[in-house]
Amino acid sequence: MNAISPARTFAAQARFDTLVAEAFASDKAARHVRDRLIARLHRGAYDGLLLRRAEGFSAIPEATERRAALNAIDFAFEPLVLASLSVAQADAYFAGIEAVLRVGQAQGLDRPGPLWLDTVHHSSVFSVLYRMAAFLKARRGVSDVVLLHQGLRPEPRLGIAVKVLARVHGVRLHLLPLRGDWFGGLARRATPQTAIFSLTDMPREVFQAAPPRRALGRIELHAGPDARRTVETVSGSPVFARRLGAAHLVLDYPGRGTIRLRPHDGEPALCSVEDWVFWPVLAARGPASS
């Protein structure tokens, strides 16, 4: 899990998220940058980069497209605000999350071994990580959470989650970059009281070199019953979870306010497209006929 940035490991292309990231990086007055981006959005300045340009979503309502764009702006804006919070303010922030983010179906927690949870990058991903870590501590006694990430630029929001999870719930959150002998290190520390969060929805299009077929997964994006699309993503989770002897679960995000935990059965992870962080990749590729 990494902060959105126009990283060189990603294919260079015109994308709304990289435009937003560059705007915040070039001006330290974050509040004013956000206001300017939203004003330009409403004037139609970014219409060629937005969600309705993506294959399968050309007919979604304009309001849904605008929510997706606002989510992308606020995903980049939020860490700039949270970084200034005191511990007490951060406590209140996450307490508010626990009150409104409902854990729906939660199956597979009775399986033996560590827990391996496939999840996705969406606009509430850090809130969901915090909420699920607290839930797993209460439900199964999980005291160690490991978050696998690409190691490019760790998210500042995670530092806040680390402090509050330890202080309020007694959960240790470790960030493990996917480099070197990362799996060996993970295997040495994993116990039945360990949960591993793996973000398995990186679209293959963001990599300059295509990943091997055996590393592909799937995510199902939706904007209502008549607008759905399954996207191939980069994921080695089935292999790694099996090698670790972990219970392999999927953390779905079917819509804002609800998360769902289920055993991995080969079905794609579920996420609303307007909340998915990588929707600008689909818009950059354009419709199928282009």
pLDDT score, position 13: 52
pLDDT score, position 10: 38
Contact 107, 262 (CB under 8 A): yes
- H or E segment at 243? helix 237-244
SS (H, E, C) 148-185: EECCCCECHHHHHHHHHHHHHHCCEEEEEECCCCHHHH
What is the number of other CB atoms lying within 10 angstroms of the CB of residue 272?
21
CA dihedral 87, 88, 94, 99 (to 10 degrees): 170
At 145, the amino acid letter reads V
The Cα 42–Cα 36 span in angstroms is 10
Pairing of strands 247-255, 202-203: unpaired
Tokens of 197: 């969060």
DSSP 204: G
Tokens of 28: 């330290």
pLDDT score, position 101: 73
Running along the chain, 290 residues long, what does each successive block of 10 average in pLDDT?
40 77 83 92 94 90 93 87 74 72 86 92 84 90 89 65 84 88 93 92 67 70 82 87 95 82 90 92 72
Q: Using one digit for the tens of pLDDT, what is the confidence trace for 112-128?
A: 899 999 998 888 888 88
pLDDT score, position 137: 94
Contact 241, 116 (CB under 8 A): yes
pLDDT score, position 194: 96
pLDDT score, position 36: 94
Q: Using one digit for the tens of pLDDT, what is the confidence trace for 257-276?
A: 788 899 998 888 889 999 99
pLDDT score, position 39: 96
pLDDT score, position 290: 40
Tokens of 251: 């953390």
